[in-house]
Structure 1
Amino acid sequence: MANEPMDRRAFDQQPERPDGLGTGQRSEYTGRYVVVLDPRDQESGLNALRSAADIAPVERVRGAAAAHVSGLLEDPEVSVLFEDLAVAVVEVRPENRFALVTTAEAQNSILAAEPERWVYASPITAPQQAPTAFFPAYRSDAHVVARHSLAETASAQGPALDETRVTWGLQVIRANVSGLTGRGVKIAVLDTGVDTDHPDLAGRIEDTASFVLGQTVEDGQGHGTHCIGTAAGPANPQQGPRYGVACDARVLVGKVLANDGFGPDGAIMAGIAWAIDHGAQVISLSLGSRVQPGELFPLTYELLAQRALAKGAVIVAAAGNDSRRPGLVSPVGRPANCPSILAVASVNKAMGMAHSSCGGINGQGGEVNIAGPGVAIHSAAPGGGYATHSGTSMATPHVAGVLALLAEANPMASARDLWDALLASALVLPHPVRDVGAGLVQAP
């Protein structure tokens, strides 16, 4: 990272690792650092950090072994290197954080070093904030619905679409009239897990892994199951209308968020490494954390996303639910604010902006790329049932599913080709590019 200035707030304001999940007092940071290394010279960077910052001993992880790192990521005596992506989650004592930062600045073999943060999914209560001017992350989808104004509720009704057989979301993106089903394509959904016994999803799951220590991949919250259903639910569900976009795609389920909706960057990066190793062409992240106006994108995630694209995987992420439209438009959250990650906004049934959907008000990658249906979305729920939720979390798997359809239609296409085709085929909407990017996602 010799040519990139470090944010020096990181080492002197970063609190210690919290004692537990779900306390309501969780800090913004975990106490670790994420370090991106030159893949051609990983050892030089690690040696420099050992010498200058006395980082904890490094455990090396390759390929499928990424599925078994939850214990390592929670061990304060161990740093973890994902060799395939040249990304390390580093343990360092508080008194050595400044040395780590300055070493990263000086070493050409270290491309980025940033404090590891917690990311969030709904439904949770945002943590209390220390006086660091950092903000909490995505609010509960239940809260998103609750704060919709009466005007939103009325406008969201939109045209009289018959949802007896197909949800409104699938109709407006034209997934229900596409001849493509995502057959032969793998979608990785990194979230709170899945109800592995759900009758609509049990036969769709290719593989699972939990990156949460002490928790299986079973979804104790519902967010992951809902997102998986939208991306790849079956053409003929057990009950109600069809709600899945890529109904024949295979699903890789990575539990990177605990049942309370919290998870660290390291677990998400482990999930990305695992998904790529298992052949995912699409990686869906309905998660993130809030950023300030003017805040730069995280270079660690950006470099990771670039490497994912080079390995054939497009990462799609929720733009965030922190706006209070029309009066307040908040910036796209992280990691969706990275230039090499597709940021997804949310629209309602009438093609109006969801009042909570974040916008592209930050430069250098913080734009919205595309929009998807995200208000009153029907999908699968734990216990074999169904639920209706709202938020950019719900819009994101619609886009992930369409990418799977594009991948089926263009089996020789690169990840960047799929990205370009997705944006080129979007339906232009009567909203600023700041809010919807290229427009509403459309199935091929």
Structure 2
Amino acid sequence: MANGPMDRRAFGEQPNRPSGPVGGQGSEYTGRYVILLDPSNQESGLNALRSSADIASVERVRGTETANVAELLERPDISVHFEDLAAAVVEVRPEQRHALVTTAETENSIIAAEPERMVYASPITAPQQAPTEFFPAYRSDEEVVARQSKAEAAAFQGPAWDEQNTTWGLQAIRANISGMTGRDVKIAVLDTGVDTDHPDLIRCIEETASFVQGESVEDVFGHGTHCIGTAAGPAKPQTGPRYGVAPDARVLAGKVLDNNGSGTDGQILAGMAWAVARGARVISMSLGAPVKPGELFPQVYEILARRALERGTLIVAAAGNDSRRPGRIDPVNRPANCPSILAVGALDKAMQTAFFSCGGINSQGGEVNIAAPGVDVHSAAPGGGYQRFMGTSMATPHVAGVVALLVQANPNASAAELKASLLSSAFPLMQPIRDVGSGLLQAP
């Protein structure tokens, strides 16, 4: 292609789109394709797909529009064009997929074309004396985790931390002694929604949007509420210790995962377009899907992350929870494995790499960039209460919150400068760079 090198494996034909609820074993692909277009010549690419692959009727959506996006993404007779991103999610009949692939390879105005995939954020049973974890729905390892002895579980909790006033995670990253609060900085959290009535979070919610058909932004799953609480919970919560990194930040809560913790690339793209259009300085994505050793990063997410950086938005994402250390270390999940997305690994209370945290097995973007607290993390829960979870999902909003603090400290910094500052200020750790990147996240 004239627009530069691309992973040709992205053009493979995939199974039909599943019917019924998304997620679960055997539904890694939806049957749709995600198309990345030349921003200066979007219509040419769409016209080429119309004429050669007979794609479904195209509905144009701007990032500021949210009302009908979820419904459009579920209609088999509609392809959705996100103009602000220069990207589209297209419906194509199975017999036309070869034509779509061929057109994408030869048409200069089409930069990338990849099969749309599922993304997840789901819990499994945790070992005794350890908190609930979040793992991909199709990688259930209950038996492996359950075999941990009580002694191992106790050791995993690490040394005692005094959490009477502040959670151990905020202490570890020094957010509790920072002079910054993230005042008025916008953090977008793309997840399972939020408990909009939680007394701790009412003040920080700037705007909400659901990109899941038939579901409001209200968080049934609990994952999104927990992440939002970690990023921007109040300095003085209703009860218990402070748990929010940037208590004066403003949150854009985008529901891109359904009430079962599953979503699609199209829903993620819709949330990204909305977040960038609404002025988010950082997008926090505690979601993803496993990749194989040697698998390249997705071109669509990488190029969109670069475009977001150019517009002042840094994207941070969970590295993934598929490892079972010390015996097995799995690669960083997608989309965190993109070079322009900051991949976040998880640490336990002993400042050791959490046993589930994925590592930098793959090169070219598959590295862990930074590590943050991700075990026994106390934060908000639906219903106005609190829960303790663990996972790289929990580490990621710690990073998003610190980005908000950095923006407050230097409002004119570019997204690239924010990223560089974040990495350069990390506290070096003894673990391999493969597992912790630059080291332990530190607040300014």
TM-score (norm 1): 0.94
Q: Deviations over 1:103-152 (max 9, x none)?
A: 11111211110000010002269xxxxxxxxx966857999975766565
Pick closer, same or farther for the CA change 1:48–1:143 going to 2, 3 Å: farther
Is 1:438 matched with 2:438? yes
How far apart, CA to CA, are the structure 1 residues paired with 2:246 and 2:317?
17
1:42 and 1:407 map into 2 onto residues whose CA distance is 33
CA contact (8 A) 1:121 1:223 kept: yes
In 2: Cα distance, 1:325 partner to 1:81 partner: 42
Instruction: Using the TM superposition, give the Cα deviation of residue 44 of structure 1 relative to its aligned residue in structure 2, in angstroms.
Output: 1.1
Does the Cα contact within 8 Å between 2:63 and 2:270 map onto a contact in 1?
no
* Structure 2: distance between partners of 1:372 and 1:145: 22
Deviation at 1:31, TM superposition (A): 1.0
Q: Distance in 2 between matches of 1:140 and 1:255?
A: 24
Residues 383-424 of structure 1: CA distance to partner in whole angstroms, max 9, x if unpaired?
100000000000000001000100110000000010000000
1:197 is matched with: 197
> Does residue 1:314 correspond to 2:317, yes or no?
no
Where in structure 2 are there 5+ consecutive unaligned residues?
Answer: 126-134
SS at match of 2:418: helix
Aligned sequence identity (%): 71
Q: Distance in 2 between matches of 1:122 and 1:136?
A: 5
Contact 2:339 2:366 survives alignment (8 Å): yes
The match for 1:171 is 171
**1:6–1:105 contact (8 Å) kept in structure 2:** no
Name the structure 2 match of 1:4.
Answer: 5
Q: 1:245 maps to which residue?
A: 245
The answer to whether the 8 A contact 1:290-1:320 is kept is yes
Distance 1:420 1:323, change over 3 A: same
Summarize the Cα distance change of 1:235–1:338 in structure 2 as closer, same or farther, 3 Å threshold: same
Alpha carbons 1:11, 1:97 under 8 Å: kept: no
Counterpart of 1:389 in structure 2 is 389
Q: Which runs of 5+ in 1 are unaligned?
A: 126-134
Q: After alignment, is 101-110 or 170-179 more displaced?
A: 101-110
Distance in 2 (CA, whole Å) between partners of 1:375 and 1:104 is 43
Alpha carbons of 1:381 and 1:405: their partners in 2 closer, same or farther (altered >3 Å)? same
Distance apart, 1:153 and its partner CA: 2.5
| 8 Å Cα contact 2:243-2:379 kept in structure 1 | yes
Q: What secondary structure is seen at the aligned counterpart in 2 of 1:393?
A: helix
Change (3 A) 1:274 1:101: same
Which residue pairs with 1:407 in the alignment?
Answer: 407
1:136-192 Cα deviation digits (max 9, x unpaired): 668579999757665652333333321011000000000000010000200000000
Corresponding residue number in structure 2 for 1:108: 108
1:345 aligns with 2:345: yes
Structure 2 residue aligned with 1:117 = 117
Alpha-carbon RMSD across the aligned residues, in angstroms, is 2.0
Could you say which residue in structure 2 is the equivalent of 1:331?
A: 331
Q: Kindly indicate whether residue 379 of structure 2 is the aligned counterpart of residue 369 of structure 1.
A: no
Aligned twin of 1:303: 303
One-letter identity of the residue aligned with 1:163: E
Partner of 2:80 in structure 1? 80
* Alpha-carbon distance in 2 for matches of 1:344, 1:143: 26
SS at match of 2:31: strand
Q: Which residue of 1 aligns with 2:16?
A: 16
Residues in 2 aligned to 1:319 and 1:121: alpha-carbon distance in whole angstroms: 12
SS of equivalent residue, structure 1 residue 65: coil
1:241 aligns to what SS in structure 2? coil
TM-score (norm 2): 0.94
- Rate the CA distance shift 1:151–1:50 in 2: closer, same or farther, 3 A: farther
Deviation of 1:98 (Å): 1.1
Is the CA contact (8 Å cut-off) linking 1:66 and 1:82 kept in structure 2? no
For the Cα contact (< 8 Å) 1:142–1:389, is it kept in 2?
A: no
Q: Look up the match of 1:236.
A: 236
1:218 aligns with 2:193: no
Note the C-alpha offset of 1:294. Answer: 0.2
The verdict on how the C-alpha distance between 1:360 and 1:42 changes in structure 2, with shifts beyond 3 A counting, is same
Question: Where does residue 265 of structure 1 map in the other structure?
Answer: 265
Task: Give 3-state SS (helix, strand or coil) of 2:122's partner.
Answer: coil
In the TM superposition, residue 63 of structure 1 has moved relative to its aligned partner by: 3.0
Which residue of 2 is the match for residue 129 of structure 1?
none
| 2:211/2:271 contact within 8 Å kept | yes
- How many correspondences in the alignment? 434
96-105 vs 255-264, which moves further:
96-105
Partner of 2:128: none
Quick one: structure 1 residues 25 and 439, their matched pair in 2 at CA, closer, same or farther if it must change by over 3 Å?
closer
- Kindly provide the amino acid, as one letter, of the partner of residue 398 in structure 2: H
Query: CA separation in 2, counterparts of 1:439 and 1:138?
Result: 30
Contact kept in structure 2, 1:190 and 1:254, CA below 8 Å: yes
In structure 2, the CA distance between the partners of 1:287 and 1:67, relative to structure 1 (3 Å rule), is: farther
What amino acid maps onto 1:320 in structure 2?
Answer: G
Partner SS, residue 345 of structure 2: strand
- Which letter does structure 1 place at the counterpart of 2:5? E
One-letter code of the match for 1:242? Answer: R
Residues 158 and 350 in structure 2, CA contact (< 8 A), matched pair in contact too: yes
Give, as a single letter, the amino acid of the residue that structure 2 aligns with 1:202.
I
